[in-house]
Amino acid sequence: MRLVDPRTHRLATVPYRAAGVGGAPRNVQLSIERLQVDELPAGCDATLAAGDLQGVAPSPLGGAPQLLGIAVADYLAVWAESGLLPPADRVGVLLTGDLYSAPEADRRGASGAVLDVWLAFAAAGCPMVYGVAGNHDDVTAAQVAELGSHVALLDGDRRGFGGTTFAGVSGIIGDPERAMRRTALTLCGHVDWDEPLSPLGAGHVVNVDARVVIFTT
């Protein structure tokens, strides 16, 4: 996939709560943005990429606040019904990690189980759910693999879908004595940028830190 137009177009926002400085919960907005690419994996009319969804939000279907990633998966049906997105069974998903939040969004840097986020996208009917684990995610490739052959946590390996190959490395650079740290040189999208794009040679870097980017043709 290559970008046709580097300009993003906002489709919607999702309100959620995240831990601020000192751990105090704050109300913020998750931006849902669209980028145009030249092609998508066969079987997909859109591909959703998201990461650093470190917050909690109620599902549009109702209920108590839950992990933001679960709420986003629930929104797929709402956005499809309103015409913002194709049906979920035509939307591939790429997760770049750090999907956990303290239940009350009152502690920064909390770590915990995120398998339910992966499950939510798989249950929504997405034909492809691939991604990596962040350093705050308690999840294994074996757990994710049990969700189906179309769901995979990548860690130094790759998967193909619809004629497109996806590869990923989980964790971050840091002290190898701590969980999910790597001593290798790694490029990732977990950087606080005002804009999600940066040129890199003849291509671009797309940073999905605390945002959702929808790729469409």
At residue 139, what is the residue type? V
Q: Evaluate if residue 78 carries a pLDDT over 50.
A: yes
**Hey, CA dihedral for 150, 153, 159, 163, is it positive or negative?**
positive
Contact (CB, 8 A) for 102 and 110: yes
Q: Where are the domains of the chain?
A: 3-216
pLDDT band for position 205 (50/70/90)?
confident
Q: Give this prediction's pTM.
A: 0.85
Residues 15-30 have pLDDT tens digits of 999 999 888 999 999 9
The larger pLDDT score, comparing residue 97 to residue 173, is at 97
pLDDT at 119: 98
Q: How far apart are the first and last CA of the chain?
A: 10
Helix spans in 65-213 (H):
68-82, 115-123, 141-145
Residues 130-142 have pLDDT tens digits of 999 999 999 999 9
**Residues 6 or more apart whose Cβ sits within 8 Å of residue 6:** 35, 197, 204
